[in-house]
Amino acid sequence: MAACGLDEGKTRTWVNNITDMMNEGSKILLRLPKIRKAIISHPEPLIWYNKKRLELELLYLKRLNRLVQCIDKNGAVNFSDNTLQAMYTRMFYILKKAQKSMYREGSRIDSLAEICNMMLM
């Protein structure tokens, strides 16, 4: 900013604006008129995504907890545990639904692991 030749007052204003934007996080997208209009006009996809993301996050955390519980005295994980298998099945189902939705919208990302990482970021 020093190279731009802005005086101290304008620099301070820019820094405050950028700091406010960073603090807003993903809400900053609502400042963009086309995105705001799309969200207001068609909230269903966003609501669906938020619900599935929350469910995926909870399953991920529960799975980590269950993995610890399934460790035997030799340190090996019992992956045949029914609860653990049910969690994996549900996570797979959510990711497949997201993958199909993304494909319909034109995305060519087909790796479930990549979709999972994107949703849990």
What is the tens place of the pLDDT at every residue in 33-92?
887 787 778 788 888 888 999 999 999 999 999 999 999 989 999 999 999 999 999 999
pLDDT at 18 over 90: no
Q: Enumerate the β-bridge partners of residue 77.
A: 71
**What pLDDT does residue 22 have?**
83
User: Above pLDDT 70, what percent of the chain?
Assistant: 97
Q: How far apart are CA 31 and CA 22, in angstroms?
A: 13
In this structure, is the dihedral angle defined by the CA atoms of residues 75, 76, 79 and 81, taken in order, positive or negative? negative
Q: How far apart are CA 11 and CA 101, in angstroms?
A: 44
**What pLDDT does residue 27 have?**
75
**What pLDDT does residue 32 have?**
81
Are the C-beta atoms of residues 66 and 81 closer than 8 Å to each other? yes
pLDDT at 17 over 90: no
Identity at 33, one-letter amino acid code? P
**In 10 A of CB 95, how many CB atoms?**
19
Identity at 37, one-letter amino acid code? K
Three-class SS of residue 111?
A: coil
What is the tens place of the pLDDT at every residue in 27-48?
777 778 887 787 778 788 888 8
**Domain coordinates in residue numbering, the chain:** 1-41, 42-121
Global confidence as pTM: 0.66
**What pLDDT does residue 69 have?**
93
